[in-house]
């Protein structure tokens, strides 16, 4: 009986270790969408959808030592969406979109060689959305 109990505990510990190590992403996407098109490279990302509900996470990576900023554009047909960015473990509000809204701008400069997360969160169902983000070198 002791061997059986030890085997169960060992198996549970292994499953727990693999489960915890597989959750290395800081943010996790969880959404439902129709006709969603996504593109994500280290320097550029875009997403467009017919309908969307939930959270979608984009990861941008500045691989150089140069300072960069994020240039962004967004448009939304129906619904409410909030967009955040995380840099150095701080989740900051980037912009909010309401029905028939659009937005464009750029962030302040970021220090080089860092990962930047963009978090798109809908408040209920949203329709006809387009978002694009691009890392660009800061001009000094």
14 SS3 class: helix
Element (H, E) at 18: helix 2-22
Q: Which residues pair with 117 in a beta bridge?
A: 59, 86
pLDDT of residue 69: 86
- The answer to whether the beta carbons of residues 70 and 55 sit under 8 Å apart is no
Q: Which residues pair with 125 in a beta bridge?
A: none
pTM of the model: 0.77
pLDDT along the chain (140 residues), means of 10: 64 51 68 90 93 94 83 95 88 92 86 84 94 85
pLDDT of residue 22: 42
Class of domain 27-137: mainly beta
CA distances from 61 to 27, 84, 137 (A): 15, 16, 12
- The answer to whether the beta carbons of residues 69 and 75 sit under 8 Å apart is no
pLDDT of residue 140: 59
Cα 61 to Cα 63: distance, rounded to the nearest angstrom = 6
pLDDT of residue 23: 46
């Amino acid at each position: 009986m002791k061997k059986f109990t030890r085997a169960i505990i060992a198996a549970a510990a292994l499953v727990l270790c693999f489960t915890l190590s597989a959750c290395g992403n800081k943010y996790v996407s969880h959404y439902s969408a129709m006709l969603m098109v996504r593109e994500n490279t280290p320097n550029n990302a875009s997403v467009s959808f017919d309908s969307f509900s939930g959270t979608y996470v984009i990861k941008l990576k500045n691989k150089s030592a140069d300072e960069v900023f994020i240039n962004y554009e967004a448009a939304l047909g129906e619904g409410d969406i909030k967009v955040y960015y995380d840099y150095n473990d701080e989740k900051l509000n980037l912009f909010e979109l309401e029905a028939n809204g659009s937005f464009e701008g750029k962030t302040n400069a970021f220090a080089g060689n860092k990962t930047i997360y963009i978090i798109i969160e809908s408040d209920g169902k949203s329709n006809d959305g387009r978002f694009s983000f691009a890392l660009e070198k800061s001009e000094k």
